Amino acid sequence: MRRAVWAGVLLVLTACTAPDRPGPAPTPVTPLPISWTPAGGSATVTLDASRPFLQFAPAIDPSEWAGVSQGRELFVAQWQPAPGPRALLDGLGPQFLTGACSGCHQSTGRAEALGPGGRTLPAVLFRLGDAQGEPHPVYGEQLQTAATTGDPEGQVTWTRQPDGRLNYQVQVSGDPLDGVRASARLSPQLLGMGLLDRVPEADLLAWADELDRDRDGISGRPHWVTEEGQVKLGRFGWKAIQASLRSQSAAALHQDMGLTTSLHPAENCTVRQAVCAEAVSGGQPEVSDAALEAINDFLTVLAVPERRMGDPATFNAGAALFEQVGCSSCHRSTLTTGVSSRFAALSHQTFYPYTDLLLHDLGPALDDGAAEKGAQSGEWRTPPLWGAGLVEASGGRFLHDGRASTLAEAVTWHGGEAERARERFGALQAIERAALLHFLRGL
């Protein structure tokens, strides 16, 4: 028996060190009663089941709400092609996916990605890249499925294969893809974004072990990206290609909506696409620095819903099994913010997102052949697990391409560095597996 401090609480775990190879189902664990601290620190909010996401952190000073409220209005607004009825909201396209940020990120749950009749919806986008990460010479880094004038770059339909994975069929309007793969990416639920943005790089790098020197099979790799002339640690996006919430916001405006910012001053067309030069511009840039800052403020103060523990004994047993199986080797429970010069209430907050924000190789089943900006095709950033139960309850899907409709399905697709954890999960007794899933659904 050993004692462990985990998730900000004290547990007593029995036989908690998992064997190198999967063996018999783990011994049931009976943890001591746990006193859980707030899931999002000062950003924790009482759950509103009708709209669990996109809520304001309650600790933010009301004097700071003005910019946040403006950012929310820009986030939910429907942008228009230029010249539009409101200059503040024009410049959409000419190639884009959706006309509003809220078209992909909703307050009620994860936005629907798979429409009826094999139609895909804007909540799933398609990044374009070959095995070396080079984008398509005509369509660029992302396939645009809508246009303000003329034809979009292409359309995507979906079917389901017998093994459960999704088959996305891409039909482009011009040049063929020619070896460039289209990698599906679900739009994530948004919560606690400002907390993740404020974790010091050194804290995340402490978990990096690219060469697996401790031989535990886990090789978390930092993804270094260049942002505004500086090399920084990537932490946002399915492959951690953005180092800050501001850069993530600007990239989404650019790629998903065709809106320019000071970070992306050129339209989202390649030199072989004339449509951008022919379209009316919404300004230089189309989203001002003040507007981008307001959107960033709104995303920064997004709250974290409180845990839904249900039966505490089952939740606590599931928490111990989560560690015992090995899920916590990548889905790290606890992070702490540094100093927040903007929104002081977010400074020095301990919170529980269940991620290390590092890249991990998840094996051939999740390798779609498309590398991106230094991240290999089989590498994925550990997605935070908080709110996953709310996504499942609302009918949302999981994994980068949406192939999993439940949390249990998502686990069964894990491979590579997560192979051992997946096998241990499969070896659990039914009552133990139910407890672990109960825990995940309550995060």
What gap in Å lies between CA 183 and CA 370, rounded to an integer?
Answer: 6
Written as one letter, the residue type at 389 is G
For the chain, the average pLDDT equals 92
pLDDT digits (tens, 9 = 90+) for 107-141: 999 999 999 999 999 999 999 999 999 999 999 99
Three-state SS for 53? coil
Q: pTM for this one?
A: 0.91
Structure tokens at 332: 């790290």
Amino acid 20: pLDDT: 38
Residue 249 backbone dihedrals phi, psi, to 5 degrees:
-65, -45
Give the burial class of 360: count Cβ atoms within 10 A of its Cβ; 0-12 exposed, 13-18 middle, 19 or more buried. Answer: buried
Q: What is the mean pLDDT of residues 333-352?
A: 97
Amino acid 386: pLDDT: 98
Which range (20-24, 188-192, 306-310, 430-434) has the least confidence? 20-24
What gap in Å lies between CA 208 and CA 219, rounded to an integer?
Answer: 7
Amino acid 1: pLDDT: 33
What gap in Å lies between CA 14 and CA 1, rounded to an integer?
Answer: 5
Three-state SS for 398? strand
pLDDT digits (tens, 9 = 90+) for 53-69: 999 999 998 888 888 99
Q: Say which residues have a Cβ less than 8 Å from residue 382's Cβ, sequence separation at least 6.
A: 220, 330, 331, 332, 355, 356, 357, 358, 360
3-class SS letters over 326-344 = CHHHCCCCCEECCCCCCCH
Q: What is the mean pLDDT of residues 214-220?
A: 94
What gap in Å lies between CA 150 and CA 96, rounded to an integer?
Answer: 12
pLDDT digits (tens, 9 = 90+) for 366-421: 999 999 999 999 999 999 999 999 999 999 999 999 999 999 999 999 999 999 99
- Give the helix/strand (H/E) hosting 69: helix 65-76
Amino acid 62: pLDDT: 87
Amino acid 33: pLDDT: 54
pLDDT digits (tens, 9 = 90+) for 2-27: 333 333 333 333 333 333 334 444 44
Integer angstrom CA distances of residue 82 from 94, 283, 351: 9, 9, 42
Q: What is the mean pLDDT of residues 273-295?
A: 95
pLDDT digits (tens, 9 = 90+) for 29-86: 444 456 799 999 999 999 999 999 999 999 998 888 888 999 999 999 999 999 999 9
Q: What is the dihedral of CA 426, 422, 405, 254, to 10 degrees?
A: 180
- Do the Cβ atoms of 315 and 209 come closer than 8 Å? no
Which residues in 281-342 belong to E strands, given as ranges?
304-305, 335-336
Q: Could you tell me which of 198, 128, 189, 188 has the C-alpha nearest to residue 156?
A: 128
Amino acid 144: pLDDT: 98
